[in-house]
Every structure is written in structure tokens, then in C-alpha cells.
Amino acid sequence: MNWKIKTGNGRVKNTLAEKYHPVVLQLLADRGISEEEDIEKYFGFDYDECLGDPFSISGMATAVSRIEKALKEGEQVAIYGDYDADGVTATAVLKETLTEVGFPEVLCYFPDRQTEGYGLNETALEQLKKQGAKLIITVDCGITNVAEVEKAKALGLEIIITDHHHAPAKLPDAVALINPNIPDSGFAFKNLAGVGVAFKLAQAIYEKLAPEKVEQLKWALDLVAIGTIADCVPLLGENRILVKYGLIVLSKTRRAGLLEMFQVGRIDISENKVPNAHTVAFQIAPRINAAGRIDHASASYNVLVGKDPVEARMLALELEDKNQKRQKITTEIFREVQILANNSFKDRNFIFAESPHWPMGILGLVAGKITGEFGKPSMVLARKPGIFSGSLRSVPAVNLMEIITRCSSLVERFGGHSQAAGVSVLPENLEKFCAQMTAEVDKELAGKEIVASLEIDSEISAGDIGWELVDALKKMEPFGEGNRQPVFCAKNFVVVDVKIVGNGQKHLKLALRGEAGSPKIFDAIGFSLAEKFPDLKNGDKLDIAFNLEDDEWNGNRKIQLKIIDLKLVAE
């Protein structure tokens, strides 16, 4: 893997040198955060002061007034949610809010990923109409459903849309549209997840209809953190506030389903162990997503909102089983596409594959793994009767929404973000669509070298590694998309001890000494690196790329280097 080490070109302001660690200031400067005001905002976590006014958002006042009317007139309200972790958590936040302000019953609907697909559909609208719904509020979906909103109006239904996905040129004629991607949306921070947008609506509902209960909304931040992290939106601005406090609430959660999930999945979260974003991203979010990928999202929703401990235990076990099935199926499909990519796409910039045997819910995961391995945009489709549908993932140099828009005459439906999108294509258009997408990707990548590379934030020495730096880095949390955990490199470490550990003997556990006989010996762990470096031995000299962390076990705290990559130094 090619290491690309930043040269520290970001200009550091000396006015904050006594307040913040110099390495942290340089890291922020290299990320475009160098002005004193911006640095203070980055480290500012005041919940009440840092969250924007929800009523400054376009459509918010209209939406809340319509919800107030529904409450006064006893109308049936339904929430129409997406089937992923973002949509499920958003649905739960809004359902709890509406219940708290006085709605006796709120319907919640999740489409089936396999049979209904993403967003509003006519059959679901007709079903909700039969159940007595008058007002439908979408979360994490709806912004592209122009025809479906017209169908709803014909049925006598009114729609409020809350979404955060790319807004098309033609927007649905809904009662209110609340989406940061709409021009002049009024959002102070435009990168909220679907659950973040739902949270802003919840804020406004409490402020207008039950201001005396507004503090209760803080207890929904565990759900907001899960959905925000799961949807991989940048952990900057309001998202940092929501996730920072949400992780604390998650450590104190009394949600029966989450507590059972922690126990069943052996997830170490408690009041004494506040989770980080990585734990949510890789242990909690996949389990919540598993239901919608394998079966139906209602199972995940019930885990989040259920109160009965016995039922919660059963649901948590069910999710665990679905997640294990999801992992197995993902691995199998990934291997199929991997073989195809190696055989047919070595000299091509856009990888695509399709099969009638692949479940829709797994395709985004597979596309992500393919793009991660090959460093190229990819598309993985399921062939269903009369339509191909699936997911795309991209590399930073290629904006999927821009290039799919240029190919839009060949697709039936599409939506998503710059790096992740979904499409539906008719069989007669598939070959042309793939050809045009390949041409568009080629244009975007013309003159650019596609090489798997690792971006290194800073090169440091063994002498730089200490508790002062570790504690300063912790203040940069939560880490995630847009605020990634810093990656360092250091040269000429000497291997003092090497072990292969973990299930399947996949991980390297090393003891490393700094160069020139340094007395410091550091613990290091390289997950899934044992197969790549099977012949490491004591005395070998290494250059390493790593994250710098603290590792606490049974009350003992020590510095740990989490190795991402390493290179043997020739003697």
C-alpha cells in the first residue's frame, strides 16, 4: 500500500499554542480548521448553544402547524421510515416525540426492501389510508417521490417529507419539505443524517406543543447517535454535538432492547464504559441494519422501542442471528464479485456485476467492500422480474450523484449521496447504462492514478508518543466520517515480541521498541495482519502506520498502537 504523508502545509495559529497540543493544532490546520473561532467551535460541545434553531429551517413552521392541527382534531398520523439504521432510529425518535406531546396512537410503516424497495410506494399509501391515516410524515426518504405524493393527495392523504438525500430539480408537492439539500433550506448545518433531520422536527414539535417537556428529547440522543454514525455523515458541526452527547446517553440507556443487544452481542457498553463511534459503527449499527437487509426492519424498530425485557431478549437474539446470516451472505457474494473483478475489470475504472440470486439488502455492503479492495467505483445489482436494482459505491474523486444524473435518461429511479447511491434500471437499458457510467467514470479519473493508498496525517517519532498526546487526541473525538481518527507513521521500530492472536489466528500482537535503544516499549495490535506478515520475528525493524489509542482493562490504562499497515526495513 502506498503511504501518502501530509507535509503539514496547514497554517497553524500561534495564539492557541498554549491551549492545545501542537500536533493537534497541525492536524486541524491540515483539515482546514485553523482560525481561532473555528477551532473553538470544533472543541465546543455546549448542547443548548451549539444546536441551531429548528424554526429557522424552511418548511418547519408549516410542518409543526399541520402536526398541531392533527393533534387537535384527533387525526391518525403515520410515520413512513426507511429500512436502514438511520431510518429506523429516525422513526423511533419521531414516534416517541409524537407520543409524548399527546398523540394516543401513531402508525409506523417500513417498506420491505426486497418487494417494495426504497421510498414511498402506492400500495403502502393505500394500506395506510385503510388504517385511517390522514397525515404521513416521512423520515430518511421521500424527496424523490413526486408521483407518489400526487397519489397520496388523490387518496386524501397529506405528506410531510423529512429527508437528507440529494434533492432533484423537481420536488414533491408536499405539505412541507424539510431537507438540508433543498436550495435555501435554512439549515445552519447541512450534513445531518435522516435521524438528525427528524431530531430537528422533534425539537420544533416540543418547543411548540410541549415546551415543558423539551428536556426529555435529550434521552433520544442515543438513537440519534446510532443513526448518525450508521449513515456515515460527517461528524462535524451539529453532528458532533448530537453524537458526543448521544454516546453518553447510550452508555446510560434503559432501552430494554439495546441492553439485551449489548449482552447478546458481548458489546462492552455501560455507565462506566462510554462507547466510541467505532463501537457503534461496527457492532451496533450492523445489528440494527441486519433486519432490514435479511428480512424486515420492524424487528430492529421493536428492539429500539420495546419495553418488555423478555420480548427484548428474544428480539435481540433474533437480530444476532440475522446479523450472522448477513455476514455469511455478504462474504459469499463478495467472493463472487471479487473473482469477476479480478478476471474482467483489471484494466477498467468501473466495476459492475449482477445476479438474480443476490438479496437486495446485501448489495451496498458488497459494493463497499469491492470499492475498498480495488479502489474503483462499483455497482452491484440484483436482477428481479422486469428490473435491475442495486447499489453503487465510489471513491472520493468520483461523485456518483453527478454522473448518474448525466445518465438519468437510462434509469428508472436513483438517489443517494456522492459516495453511495442506489439505482433501478430496465433490462433493455442496462448495457447502455453500464457503458455510459464507465465512460463518465473514465472522464472523472482521466489523468489520475488509481493506486490503493493510505493517507498519513503526520510522521512522528517514538519519543513523541506519550500520555499528553494521547489525551489531546481524545479531545478530537468523536471520530468518524469527515473527522477521521488521525493516522500516524513512525520509522525504525524494533520488534521485541510477536504473537499471533484472536479467533482464526488473524491478528498480530507486537511489542515494539523505538529506534536507537529507546527504553520505551509499546504494545501494538494489527487486526487481520497476521496472514499478510506471517514471518515477522524478534529483531525485525519496521516502519508502521497506526492510530494512537489508550487501552483500558481491569482498571489498568496503557498506550496502544493500532497498526493499519507496516513495512519491513531492509538492513
- Would you list the DSSP string of 190-252? ----HHHHHHHHHHHHHHHH-GGGGGGGGGGHHHHHHHHHHTT----THHHHHHHHHHHHHHT
Query: What is the number of structural domains in the chain?
Result: 3
Tell me what pLDDT residue 161 has. 98
Using CA atoms, how far apart are residues 338 and 340, in angstroms rounded to an integer?
Answer: 5
Longest dimension (CA), the chain: 81
Residue 334 located in a structural domain = no
pLDDT in tens, 239-272: 999 999 999 999 999 999 999 999 999 999 999 8
Tell me the helix, strand and coil percentages in the chain, rounded to 5.
45, 20, 35
**Looking at the structure, do residues 103 and 200 belong to the same domain, yes or no?**
yes
**Looking at the structure, do residues 500 and 401 belong to the same domain, yes or no?**
no
**Looking at the structure, do residues 409 and 493 belong to the same domain, yes or no?**
no
Query: pLDDT grade, residue 9 (50/70/90)?
Result: low
**Looking at the structure, do residues 95 and 139 belong to the same domain, yes or no?**
yes
**Looking at the structure, do residues 113 and 179 belong to the same domain, yes or no?**
yes
Tell me what pLDDT residue 132 has. 96
What is the mean pLDDT of the segment spanning 509-522? Answer: 83
Residue 515 located in a structural domain = yes
Q: Say which CATH number the domain at 441 has.
A: 3.10.310.30
In 73-110, alpha helices (H) = 85-100
Domain end marker among 423, 445, 467: 445
**Looking at the structure, do residues 103 and 195 belong to the same domain, yes or no?**
yes
Residue 279 located in a structural domain = no
Q: Say which CATH number the domain at 175 has.
A: 3.90.1640.30
Q: In this predicted structure, which of 74-83, 207-216, 334-343, 546-555 has the lowest mean pLDDT?
A: 546-555
Residue 453 located in a structural domain = no
Domain end marker among 183, 212, 239: 239
Residue 415 located in a structural domain = yes
Residue 290 located in a structural domain = no
Decide if pLDDT at 452 tops 80.
no
**Looking at the structure, do residues 394 and 473 belong to the same domain, yes or no?**
no
Domain that holds residue 56: 50-239
Residue 439 located in a structural domain = yes
* Average per-residue pLDDT for the chain: 92
| Among 305-309, 334-338, 501-505, 532-536, the range of highest mean pLDDT | 334-338
pLDDT in tens, 207-237: 999 999 999 999 999 999 999 999 989 999 9
The model carries a pTM of 0.87
Using CA atoms, how far apart are residues 294 and 369, in angstroms rounded to an integer?
Answer: 18
**Looking at the structure, do residues 158 and 58 belong to the same domain, yes or no?**
yes
Tell me what pLDDT residue 225 has. 97
Coil, strand or helix: which one is 518? coil
Query: pLDDT grade, residue 203 (50/70/90)?
Result: very high
Decide if pLDDT at 184 tops 80.
yes
The answer to whether 185 touches 54, Cβ cutoff 8 Å, is no
**Looking at the structure, do residues 441 and 494 belong to the same domain, yes or no?**
no
Query: pLDDT grade, residue 45 (50/70/90)?
Result: confident
**Looking at the structure, do residues 405 and 469 belong to the same domain, yes or no?**
no
Q: Among 551, 558, 537, which residue's Cα sits nearest to residue 494?
A: 537
Decide if pLDDT at 125 tops 70.
yes
Decide if pLDDT at 19 tops 90.
no
Q: State percent of the chain over pLDDT 90.
A: 73
Q: Say which CATH number the domain at 542 has.
A: 2.40.50.460
**Looking at the structure, do residues 379 and 507 belong to the same domain, yes or no?**
no
What is the mean pLDDT of the segment spanning 468-474? Answer: 94
pLDDT in tens, 545-564: 999 998 877 678 889 999 99
- Going from the C-alpha of 467 to that of each of 25, 27, 264, 551, the distances in angstroms are 17, 17, 34, 12
**Looking at the structure, do residues 488 and 550 belong to the same domain, yes or no?**
yes
Domain end marker among 445, 467, 491: 445
